[in-house]
Each structure stands twice: as structure tokens, then as C-alpha cells.
Amino acid sequence: MFKNIFLFLCTLPLFARAQHMSMPNYSYTPKPDYSFQNFMAMNAMFHNYRVYGTVSQKHKFKVLMKDSSTLEVVARIDADSLTRYLVYTDHSVKRSDSGRIKKIYPSQTLAISRIDRPDVYEYTGIPADSCWLFPAIKGSLTAYAALAEDVIDEAFLLYIQKGAGPLTRLTGDNLEANIKGDEKAGRLLKKKKYSRAIIKFNESENQRAAPAVTTGS
């Protein structure tokens, strides 16, 4: 049972990434939550997308396989009790053939990218063994989810990464450590508004990084 939960939470080390995909370098050793309560909560989210406000929809994906071959498919990210996978229809196969519906698992890939978006290489999912992680909120502090949707319900955010630092599980304590010193983001965190706290922190970081505007005498 513990092994299944471990895979289910997408906590195994990430596979090596292909350099030409412009993938960031990740280094993390997340601590899995083996509690029965957490397992049941995650299981409910995986199988009741609509209840939790996020729906896994069909998109056009470019898949980079582990043998470096590529495949373009119109697919949806689905899940069972162990892992997420891309499921698509192979129209070259007869309707009566059971092999018409095919699945691609994270363990078979180096990366997958949504190519129905113009910023394809900025919206690439990297395999974390039992799922792909996509940047759901981008900025100085990036949040990752296991769904390739434009709008992600907060319950589906899994990891955060500050700059080029390590990927860490999104928890109140970890988020607090990453936004330390930002009072506005801190107030949102205290209200447990994690995604809004991340967005506010990124806005503050952008303002601090913007060049000062000078006026002529």
C-alpha cells in the first residue's frame, strides 16, 4: 500500500531531461505524506476533477519519448490509482480494434509539451515518475501542478520552486520560507490563500527588479 501511495503522490525523483527542450535543472528529495487521510484526499481529486473545480481537458501534445523520438497526439491527462497518463485515440487503428485507445505513461517520456499554446516550451511537463509537472504559476516563485490546464484549482498545486533552486512540496511552512519578508504575500498565506500569496510575491519581485524611472531636470 505504501508503495502505491508513494507513486500516487508524484514524489519519486525526476528523470533526466533533454537539453534541447530547455528544461530547468531540478534537484529535490521530497518527503512523501503516507497518511491515509492524504491518500484518500488525493484519490478523490484525481477521480473527481469537476468536484474540485479543475477539469482535465483534451489538448494537442508533443511527446518526447525516452528513445528521443517524438509523437504529436490530441490527448487528455487521465489517472488511475497508481499514475497519470496521456490517453488518446489512434485513428490508424480500426474502431473495432481494442488497441485504438492508447496510453502514454510518464515513465516512457522525457517531456510532454502542449502545442495548442504559442509558448510551447514554457508550458512543458517533466516526468516525476507517476505524473508530469507543469508550471501553473510562473515567476520568481513557480508553482507546479500535474495537469496541463490554463487555470488550475489551488488544490492541484503540488510543488514550488524559487528561481533555479530545488523543487519542494507546496506546504504552508515551505511557502512561508520562500516568501519571507514580503508582508502582503505573508498576509495572504496566513489566510491559507496559497496561490494568491505566490502571485503577490511574484508581483513584488517584479516591481523590485524593474529599473527606476528617472525624469529630466
Q: Amino acid letter at 100?
A: R
Task: Give me 110's grid cell.
Answer: 522525457
Q: Amino acid letter at 13?
A: P
Task: State the total domains in the chain.
Answer: 1
Q: pTM for the full model? A: 0.72
Coil, strand, or helix at residue 158? strand
Tell me whether residue 116 is in a domain.
Answer: yes
Q: Is residue 12 exposed (0-12), middle (13-18) or buried (19+ Cβ within 10 Å)?
A: middle
Cβ(82)–Cβ(175) below 8 Å: no
Q: Is residue 72 exposed (0-12), middle (13-18) or buried (19+ Cβ within 10 Å)?
A: exposed
pLDDT in tens, 126-144: 998 789 999 999 999 999 9
What is the rounded average pLDDT of the residues 157-161? 94
Task: Find the domain containing 25 and state its range.
Answer: 2-170
Tell me whether residue 127 is in a domain.
Answer: yes
Coil, strand, or helix at residue 38? helix
Tell me whether residue 26 is in a domain.
Answer: yes
Tell me whether residue 135 is in a domain.
Answer: yes
Task: Give me 94's grid cell.
Answer: 480500426
Which of the 8 DSSP states describes residue 154? G
Higher per-residue pLDDT: 102 or 215: 102
Q: Is residue 35 exposed (0-12), middle (13-18) or buried (19+ Cβ within 10 Å)?
A: exposed
Which of the 8 DSSP states describes residue 18? P
Buried/exposed code over 91-101 (b: 16+ C-beta within 10 A; e: otherwise): eeeeeeeeeee
- Least confident residue range of 11-25, 169-183, 193-207: 11-25
Task: Name beta bridge partners: 111.
Answer: 64
* Secondary structure element (H or E) that encloses residue 161, with its range: strand 157-162
pLDDT in tens, 46-93: 444 444 446 788 999 999 999 999 999 999 999 888 899 999 999 889
Tell me whether residue 191 is in a domain.
Answer: no
pLDDT of residue 8: 42
pLDDT in tens, 103-122: 999 999 999 999 987 777 67
30: number of Cβ within 10 Å = 17
Cβ(108)–Cβ(82) below 8 Å: no
- Strand pairing category for 157-162 and 167-169: antiparallel
